[in-house]
Amino acid sequence: MPEPHDPAEGAIAGTGAGGAMDLAASEATTLAPGEPGGPGGTGAGAPARSLWSDAWRDLRRNPVFIVSGLIILFLVLISLWPSAIASGDPLDCDLANAQKGSSPGHPFGFDGQGCDVYTRTVYGARASVTVGVCATLGVALLGSVLGGLAGFFGGAWDAILSRITDVFFAIPVVLGGLVLLSVVTSNTVWPVIGFMVLLGWPQISRIARGSVITAKQNDYVQAARALGASNSRMLLRHIAPNAVAPVIVVATIALGTYIALEATLSYLGVGLKPPTVSWGIDISAASQYIRNAPHMLLWPAGALAITVLAFIMLGDAVRDALDPKLR
Amino acid sequence: MATEAPTAADAPMLLEVRDLHVEFRTRDGVAKAVNGVEYGVRAGETLAVLGESGSGKSVTAQAIMGILDIPPGRITSGEILFQGQDLLKLKEDERRRIRGAGMAMIFQDALSSLNPVLSVGDQLGEMFVVHRGMSRKDARAKAVELMDRVRIPAARERVTQYPHQFSGGMRQRIMIAMAMALEPSLIIADEPTTALDVTVQAQVMDLLAELQRELNMGLILITHDLGVVADVADTIAVMYAGRIVEKAPVHEIYKAPAHPYTKGLLESIPRLDQKGQDLFAIKGLPPNLMNIPPGCAFNPRCPMAQDICRTDVPPLAKVTYEGLTAERRSACHFWKETLRG
């Protein structure tokens, strides 16, 4: 996205109305005599350059975005460098400490195996963020390519793909996970990610298909065709940039749910498996001690809740910024 | 433009549409949008295609450009000869190369015809990138040149701006610049000024006519505005229910229409000397394209309709009278009576 200079940028602080007037004034000076003035306008009089710069401007002023963004930034940092804030080893456990409460150097106490809950909670972020981000990327990529092509070309390809998505929609996620993942023996995060992509892409595919069909009907796509643009050029340059917003919104919100799904699957014993450190595994292990040692459950569950909430809030903020109907 | 141009009249046909039939298959039935249209345009000549909404004028244009949505649309028969070559026999890839370079189209609403997320410079430059394989930098320079040519002030600064930052007239100039970019030999302008203010309409039409003269292009001007047509067109083709009902040199048609429908259209134009009187309107509605009346499609609305009009489709017959030099045709059984008024 080219970001040209913005003469009205300075007017943002003075809210949309002032900015719009400034823009109208600067526009009027460059008009030929006899031409009616006034910008085409994108909604509430924001001094907009394009959908994207407009959305970014909205986001920067949205406290929900700032709060969720900071939480997510923090999560990403600790999943990259967990040792920066947790000096211990999450797998270094001493049964003598099992179920003990908070003590100096061990603020969150110990779990049933005598592992430090604080260290495990910090290290657990990596699994959650990895699963969430990779599953979302995979789902978004596969879903938007398949859905986008179906929407663009229509016909038989579209009909077949739509029926396939219907089939996938009919599979209950948890049941599917229990069946498919119970046969996997790998200890890595990849089977879980693969499973989420497999069951998740139809959701994005349907949205991508719909928004490509909408974008395809725009006059400028017809105009591009009339001026000799090829299918791939129309799809990549004219349709995709105008159809990608709903996909981004849904994918961001879905990211939170994938993290929760990983915890659910791990809790059920078919997701990640020890020695991988994951909130879901810890929640599962802690659930049997909930009466005696609730701290074992509260910390990983709290971290999970905050993470999921942060991604869903981010998705909401992005949706508000990208959906012109909400302006 | 309306004066005789012997060079243009002698030139071979640039585009010739022959007996074109287009229909749309919908859930409710088959809509016959175009039923045997015939028209042609020479280099340097302007043909105005006039008609109400649903008369098939835009569908014919889309068929010529090859941007008709198929399905539901379907070209059932006919030929579209462009520089002697039948476009309907070409492969999609070959047609795509003609679009933009050989023929280009200008649309009615320039705001919705420009991509909102690309700067106008990118969109203008794209013509050169796609068809000429130019680098982005060279294409940008060409874009500025084009914007200068369609007289957009401060082109160098405005080339990075987005469509919504331009006024309606300026946007239409950008559309014109895009269509002219590769100097095609034919331009189809589909109601290019309908969405504009009256004052801006004249400026845009003048620009279009000037560029046409400069590049010696054929121009098909699709419109329902008789006022726009009078100044720029050489020939007028009037369409009704997917057929040409009258085709005549522009000054002849204004002098004396040879089809009751054309006559009705001309009488519907508000005139200053009729102040205070009721405005004339053609009674009735355009026919449903799924159920076009037998005989002459205009017969239910025609004040001159006789029995023959309800049974026999009138051919597009040659109209002759003293003083007529160019070809003139009318699809009315009673064109002689209509001409007399």
Model confidence pLDDT, tens digit, residues A38-73: 333 333 333 445 667 777 888 888 888 999 999 989
Checking if the pLDDT of A35 tops 50, the result is no
Checking if the pLDDT of A114 tops 80, the result is no
More confident residue, A94 or A317: A317
Mutate to test the interface with A, among B118, B128, B166, B197 (most CBs of A within 10 A): B118
Mutate to test the interface with A, among B69, B95, B113, B196 (most CBs of A within 10 A): B113
Place of tokens 């719909």: A210
Contact residues, B window 72-111, toward A, CB-based 8 Å cutoff: 96-101, 104-105, 107, 109, 111
Q: Do B67 and A222 touch (CB under 8 A)?
A: yes
Beta strands in chain A (DSSP E): none
* pLDDT for residue A70: 92
* pLDDT for residue A50: 62
Q: Do A38 and B109 touch (CB under 8 A)?
A: no
B119 neighbourhood in chain A, CB within 8 Å: 2, 4
pTM: 0.70
The CATH code of the domain at A67-82+109-322 is 1.10.3720.10
Residue of B nearest to A39 (CA): B165
Using the Cβ of B191 and the Cβ atoms of chain A, whether some distance falls under 8 Å is answered with no
C-alpha to C-alpha distance for B152 and A30, rounded to whole angstroms: 9
One-letter amino acid identity for A193?
A: I
Q: Closest to A36 (Cβ–Cβ): which among B105, B113, B200?
A: B200
Strands B73-82 and B85-86: antiparallel
A38 neighbourhood in chain B, CB within 8 Å: 167
For the question of an ipTM over 0.85, the answer is: no
Percent of chain B exceeding pLDDT 70 equals: 96
Half-sphere exposure (Cβ direction) of B70: Cα atoms closer than 13 Å: 13
C-alpha to C-alpha distance for B287 and B283, rounded to whole angstroms: 12
Using the Cβ of B281 and the Cβ atoms of chain A, whether some distance falls under 8 Å is answered with no
Among A191-195, A257-261, B9-13, B14-18, where is mean pLDDT lowest? B9-13
CB contact burial A267-288 (16+ within 10 A = b; e otherwise): beebbbbeebbbbbbbbbbbee
Contact A2, B160 (CB under 8 A): yes
Q: Closest to B131 (Cβ–Cβ): which among A51, A224, A228?
A: A228
Tell me if the bond preceding A275 is cis, omega within 30° of 0.
Answer: yes
H or E segment and range at residue A143: helix A117-153
Domain ranges of chain A: 67-82+109-322
Q: Give B311-320 pLDDT, tens digit per residue.
A: 888 888 888 8
C-alpha to C-alpha distance for B338 and B81, rounded to whole angstroms: 33
Residue B18, CA distances (Å) to B39, B82, B89, B186, B243 in order:
7, 11, 14, 17, 12
Tokens of B277: 């009187």
Tokens of A47: 């001094």
Checking if the pLDDT of A293 tops 80, the result is no
Using the Cβ of B162 and the Cβ atoms of chain A, whether some distance falls under 8 Å is answered with yes
